[in-house]
Amino acid sequence: MNHAPGSRAPQHGQALLEFLVIAAAILGLFLLTPVVAKYQDIAHATHMASRYAAFDATVHNDASGAFKPEGQLAGEVRKRYFGNPDAPIESAAVDDAAGAAQTRRNPFWSTPHGAPLIRSLADVSVTFGAGQASSHHQAFSSSSDGKPFSQAPLVNHATLGLQARGIYRANISVPLVDLPEGLQSYTPFDEIDLRITRHTSVLIDPWAARSVQQNMERFGKLAPLNSVFSSMETLLDVAIPAFELFGEVPAPRFGHLQPWQDAVPADRLKPEY
C-alpha cells in the first residue's frame, strides 16, 4: 500500500507488543512479591521471639530461682512464634514429630509450590551470647555502664546484693528452604540458603529478685542514713516517731519501705484451691 509523502505507517499491535516487553521485565517482581512478604513476616516473628527469650530471663534466672531449661524455652519459642497462629498457647516443649505436623505450621509461610518455608520447627534454634552458645550462663557479656557507681559505697551492686555479670543476650535463628529451581524469576532465591537471625540484649541482674520484700529491702539500702546510722537503728526507731506529724504520717524505718508497699485488698484476692 502506498502512503502519501509525510504520512505515518500504520502501527497495528504496537501497544500490545510494548506491554508484553514491559511485562516480561517486571513479571519476576510480581512473582516474588508474595515471597518477600512471607520473608518479612518470618523476620518479624524472629525478632519478637528473640525479645521473648531475652525478657523471659528477667523473670526466670538464677537470682530468683533458676533459669528456664533451654529445651523448654526453645519449645515455647517454636510453638508460640513459628507454629500455627490459630493453635492454642501451650508451655510444654515441642517434640520433633509434633513440630513437623502440618497442624503445627503457619499456613502462610509456604513456597509458591506449597512446600513449607521452614522445613521443621526443630530447625529454629535458640542460642545465647555473642558466641551463640547453648547455655544461659554463656549469654553474658561484660559492660562498663556500672563503673561510675562501683566507687559509691551506698549504691554499688554489692551493697544491694545484686550480681553484675553484664548484658544478657538471646539469639533466634531460622533457616529457610530455597525456592524451587527452574524459574528465572526466582533467582537467586533458589540457591542462597537464606537464614534469618535476630537477637535481643537486656540487663537482667538489677531486675532479679525472689520477692517484693527483697526488692523493698534493696531499695531501702539506698537511704544514706541507713548506712551511716545502722548501728543506731534501734535508737532511731524509738526517737523518730516523736517527730511524726500528729500521728497521721508514720515515720519510715531506715532500710524498710513497708508503709508505702502496694497491697492488694483481701476482697480482691482470688482464693487458691
- What pLDDT sits at residue 6? 57
Give the span between the Cα atoms of 131 and 108, in whole angstroms. 32
Segment 237-244 mean pLDDT: 67
- Lowest-pLDDT range, 20-29, 90-99, 215-224? 90-99
E strand segments, 115-166: 125-128, 140-141
Does residue 200 surpass a pLDDT of 70? yes
Instruction: Compute the distance between CA of residue 13 and CA of residue 237 in angstroms, rounded to an integer.
Output: 99
What is residue 98's predicted lDDT score, i.e. its pLDDT? Answer: 43
Predicted confidence (pLDDT) per residue in 44-78, tens digit: 999 999 999 999 999 898 877 899 999 999 999 99
Q: What percent of the chain has pLDDT over 90?
A: 28
Peptide bond into 188 cis (omega under 30): yes
Task: Report how far residue 202's alpha carbon sits from residue 207's, in angstroms, rounded to the nearest whole number.
Answer: 10
The domain segmentation of the chain, as residue ranges, is 18-207, 210-245+252-258
Q: Does position 100 have pLDDT exceeding 50, yes or no?
A: no
Please check whether residue 139 is in contact with residue 171, taking contact to mean a CB–CB distance below 8 angstroms: no
* Cis upstream peptide for 148 (omega within 30°): no
